[in-house]
Amino acid sequence: MILSNLKVGVVGLGYVGLPLAVAFSKKFNTIGYDTNEKKIKLLQQGIDPNNEFSKEELESSKLIVTNDEKLIKQANFIVVAVPTPVDESNRPDLTPLEKSSETIGRNLSKKAIVVYESTVYPGATEEVCLPILEKTSGMKCGIDFKIGYSPERINPGDKEHTLERITKIVSGCDNEALDTIKEVYGSIIKAGLYLAPSIRVAEAAKVIENIQRDLNIALFNELALIFNKMGIKSKDVFDAAATKWNFHRYYPAFVGGHCIPVDPYYMTHKAELLGYHPEVILAGRRINDSMPKHVRSLAIQGINKAKKVLADSRVIILGLTFKENVNDARNSKVVELIKELKRYNINVLGCEPHLSNETVREKFGVENYNISEIKNNIDCVILVNAHNSFKDLTLDELKKHMNKNPVIVDMKNFFNEKEAIEKGFIYSCL
């Protein structure tokens, strides 16, 4: 394929697809396709719903966005970047991937290359997506079109590790496909490419990246639970241990988002189909999923220590998104924390500057406030995310809006514990 004739199509314009589409549009004629009509209208107005790009950046990108699937026919290099969630039983839900493959198959031009970026279990691209492409297009892979896999490594909100600065794994169904995929991605990636020997290897590499992170955080979460029982501050222990050169530091936290709490189930699903029942991977998931209950317990312990009635207490949660400084609430563990608190008839409020009041109400079932709007009737503050917008928040300012014997559950060690106690706060942390 001659790159001067390349026309790129990106299917799925979310946190992964839009940065790809923008980057490709600087080099090639690029079409971005998404089924969400509201999103397309916003993008056509130069508005990024995910706040990753400014209006100027979108307008200068020359990207054409559409919800008309017929325009996909114009592309001869198609990238698929759609979500791969799990269902209520934590089983892989490949519906978005299957529907996208059907859409592409209906509009696939001969000699095109289709590259999947969505995180899946090893084998999914060739076992699930490829048959759909062949069936709906009436064409044969390797003869009429080719496929590849290049796992996404986008980190939402990270201005340092951007798309261009992250090493890109690429793979193809044969050497010819791999050569083209390498050349196309190489035109936008500055950090270099890694050529995986097969599509399955590339799929597996991606999924274990997130499994490893999930397990590392689970270890530190479990240690925090143990040290809490011992009456030892976990941060002090981790600070001391980190003085050894080969100690790898992680931080206790909620594990949310579109990848880390989801991807382990893709690997365990495939393993179980093959007759192997994973233990360590699922143990890590159980620990991380239990953390909202632990934080709820810390809040209740503090409220009880303040000699207040739980049902009359007002708790505000600072930071509702799945991590700091993003407007992404997918799989946020704060949803479960709120449910846990409400089980005790506690009045729960939210403070999330990165989300609209409507989104907070719909997603979390609470009202969204600024700290200055609360006035003097808060009993407990739970700080989940240390957003940059909270950096000027002081203990004195916080205390102005709180009742007698104020309680803080500080998940990020944002406040100084000694100072908090001296100022009369009942303080706890992970």
Task: Kindly report, residue by residue over 94-116, the tens digit of the pLDDT.
Answer: 999 999 999 999 999 999 999 99
Residues 165-192: b if buried by 16+ CB within 10 A, e if exposed = ebebbbbbbeeebbebbbebbeebbeee
Residue 259 known to be catalytic: yes
The percentage of the chain sitting over the pLDDT mark of 70, rounded to a whole number, equals 99
User: Residue 195: its pLDDT value, please?
Assistant: 99
SS3 211: helix
- The answer to whether residue 1 scores a pLDDT higher than 90 is no
Mean pLDDT calculated for residue range 247-251: 97
Write out the CATH class of domain 3-202: alpha beta
- The answer to whether residue 154 scores a pLDDT higher than 90 is no
Beta bridge partners of 381: 316, 408
Mean pLDDT of the chain: 96
User: Residue 371: its pLDDT value, please?
Assistant: 74
Residues 390-414: b if buried by 16+ CB within 10 A, e if exposed = beebebeebbebbbebbbbbbbbbb
User: Residue 352: its pLDDT value, please?
Assistant: 97
User: Residue 52: its pLDDT value, please?
Assistant: 86
Q: Amino acid letter at 316?
A: I
- Identify the active-site residue in 129, 141, 259, 380: 259
Q: Let me know: does 303 contact 380? Beta carbons within 8 Å.
A: yes
Give the ranges where 93-170 is alpha helix by DSSP (H): 95-106, 124, 130-137
User: Residue 206: its pLDDT value, please?
Assistant: 97
Strand duo 402-410 + 29-33: pairing:
unpaired
What DSSP element (H or E) covers 340? helix 334-342
DSSP 165: G
User: Residue 299: its pLDDT value, please?
Assistant: 98
- The answer to whether residue 348 scores a pLDDT higher than 90 is yes
pTM > 0.95: no
Across 3-7, 49-53, 58-62, 245-249, which has the greatest mean pLDDT?
Answer: 245-249
Dihedral of CA atoms 58, 62, 67, 69 in degrees, nearest 10, equals: -150
Mean pLDDT calculated for residue range 87-94: 96
CATH number of 282-429: 3.40.50.720
Distance CA 354, CA 207 (A): 28
Distance CA 336, CA 324 (A): 18
At residue 60 the predicted structure's pLDDT band, cuts being 50, 70 and 90, is confident
Reported in sequence order, the residue ranges of 49-173 that DSSP labels E, i.e. its strands, are: 64-66, 77-80, 113-116, 146-149, 168-172
- The answer to whether residue 276 scores a pLDDT higher than 90 is yes
Distance CA 141, CA 130 (A): 8
Q: Let me know: does 32 contact 19? Beta carbons within 8 Å.
A: no
Strand duo 347-351 + 193-195: pairing:
unpaired
At residue 93 the predicted structure's pLDDT band, cuts being 50, 70 and 90, is very high
Domain residue limits, the chain = 3-202, 282-429
Mean pLDDT calculated for residue range 253-262: 95
At residue 2 the predicted structure's pLDDT band, cuts being 50, 70 and 90, is low
